[in-house]
Amino acid sequence: MNRSPYITDAPSVTCIMFKVLLALLPGIVAYAWVYGGGILATLTLATITAIAAEAALLKIRHRSLKPYLFDMSAVVTAWLLALSLPPLAPWWIVVVGIFFAVVIAKQLYGGIGYNPFNPAMVGYAVLLISFPLIMTKWPAPLSLAQVPLNFMDQLHYIFSQTLPDNVKVDAITSATPLDYLKTQLMLKKEVSEIMQAPLFSELRVTDSELITGSYLLGGLYLLQQRIISWHLPTTFLATLSMISLVFYIGNPTHFANPMFHLMNGASMLCAFFIITDPVSGPTTPRGKLYFAAGAGILTYLIRVYGGYPDGIAFAVLIMNMCVPLIDAMTQPRVFGHQNR
């Protein structure tokens, strides 16, 4: 029998997924610092739902539970989706999103390795289309909220949508910077004028920078561990910067600067954790460049011209559709062959 090679040296899938979770931790800490501990409840709920859904579907599909459940991929999906949701999203939003991500987008396509679309982004897109009001209503950062909720209040709100008697919903929510910019631009205001709002005060910028920087830190850890390659995050961030720079230079009164686009929304999370999903992404080095560039351009266009404040989920899903084509078109030149 010829079963060589007899030796291997590779991190297991579980190990890879575990490192991704580890890399998300700084971002989660920053998130909790800025928006309060409610996110921890959301993450826990998402994790439990994802594992339960994964286990149930594996059972139905007659797959062995142990290897597939312990590959941790469902937990990664759960965390990515949870971090994309508004911090105080009601519990059922989390459950519905996870259901679509794990059951529909992943298991019904054949489980890990077979999903053509990024599960977390499918879950997010379904929620955004179905419940746009909830999905675009972000609580203000604790530092800006008129009445900062404590952890118990946040838990209570997540699970029963009730606030302490003295607090009104309006007091804790605000538009996201991306959303605010968009609506204010529609009111024919200039960017520089909009940026004077308290939402963009120095303090607020520190908040978004903190979260963005934490994701970047985790991303660099993944690069260092060779879990992801430089192609995707670098190209995505570079493309997003370039396209926003071009628009910004063209009309600075109407378009935000590149830094704004890099620091806001889920740009950094997307660059290091979402487009780097290997299953639904391209595999060739050149393909990764095209994929990330496409995602960057689409993200910007949807942000600026689309109907939704952030365009990452749709950009990623659209690029997922192009993956088979990208892979086929970007096959590298094989050793000893003239052409690609």
Distance CA 248, CA 265 (A): 18
Q: How far apart are the first and last CA of the chain?
A: 35
> Given the rule CB under 8 A, which of 7-15, 23-31, 79-87, 306-314 is the region that contacts another protein?
7-15
Task: Compare residues 114 and 159 and give the one whose CB is closer to another protein.
Answer: 114
Does residue 143 touch another protein according to CB under 8 A?
A: no
Query: In degrees rounded to 5, what are phi and psi of residue 2?
Result: -115, 100
Nearest by Cα to 67 from 126, 128, 13, 133: 13
**Per-position DSSP letters for 320-336, written without gaps between them:** HHHHHHHHHHTPPPPTT
Dihedral sign computed on CA atoms, order 70, 74, 77, 83: negative
Distance CA 120, CA 143 (A): 29
Task: Compare residues 307 and 336 and give the one whose CB is closer to another protein.
Answer: 336
Nearest by Cα to 93 from 54, 123, 117, 57: 123
User: DSSP letter at 279?
Assistant: T
Q: Which of 81, 216, 269, 293 binds another protein (CB under 8 A)?
A: 216
Q: What does the angle CA 296 – CA 300 – CA 302 come to, to the nearest 5 degrees? A: 115
Within residues 297-336, the interface with another protein by CB under 8 A covers 327, 331-336
Q: Which of 132, 164, 252, 278 binds another protein (CB under 8 A)?
A: 278
Task: Compare residues 51 and 134 and give the one whose CB is closer to another protein.
Answer: 51
> Given the rule CB under 8 A, which of 54-62, 78-86, 96-104, 216-224 is the region that contacts another protein?
216-224
Q: Which of 5, 165, 186, 202 binds another protein (CB under 8 A)?
A: 5
Distances (CA, A) of 94 to 49, 78, 86, 281: 9, 9, 10, 25
Q: Which of 21, 245, 279, 301 binds another protein (CB under 8 A)?
A: 279
Does residue 293 touch another protein according to CB under 8 A?
A: no
Does residue 136 touch another protein according to CB under 8 A?
A: no
What is the nearest approach in angstroms of another protein to the Cβ of residue 301? 22
What is the nearest approach in angstroms of another protein to the Cβ of residue 172? 34
Does residue 268 touch another protein according to CB under 8 A?
A: no
**Per-position DSSP letters for 108-134, written without gaps between them:** GGTSTT--SS-HHHHHHHHHHHH-HHH
- Annotate each residue in 70-89 with x if it binds another protein (CB under 8 A) or - if it does not, as one string: -x-x----------------
Does residue 206 touch another protein according to CB under 8 A?
A: no
Largest CA distance in the chain: 75
> Given the rule CB under 8 A, which of 21-29, 44-52, 68-76, 141-149 is the region that contacts another protein?
68-76
Q: Which amino acid makes up residue 43?
A: L
User: DSSP letter at 99?
Assistant: I
Instruction: Tell me if 248 sits within 8 A of 255, measured CB to CB.
Output: yes
Task: Compare residues 2 and 192 and give the one whose CB is closer to another protein.
Answer: 2
# residues contacting another protein (CB under 8 A): 45
User: DSSP letter at 140?
Assistant: P
Does residue 339 touch another protein according to CB under 8 A?
A: no
Q: Which of 11, 132, 164, 198 binds another protein (CB under 8 A)?
A: 11
User: Which contiguous run of DSSP H or E holds residue 188?
Assistant: none
In the numeric block, which tokens belong to residue 168?
A: 């009104």
Does residue 166 touch another protein according to CB under 8 A?
A: no
What is the nearest approach in angstroms of another protein to the Cβ of residue 116? 11
What is the nearest approach in angstroms of another protein to the Cβ of residue 261? 13
> Given the rule CB under 8 A, which of 21-29, 104-112, 175-183, 203-211 is the region that contacts another protein?
104-112
Contact residues for another protein (CB under 8 A)?
1-13, 15-16, 67-68, 71, 73, 110-114, 216, 220, 223, 230, 234, 237, 241, 278-279, 281, 283-284, 327, 331-338
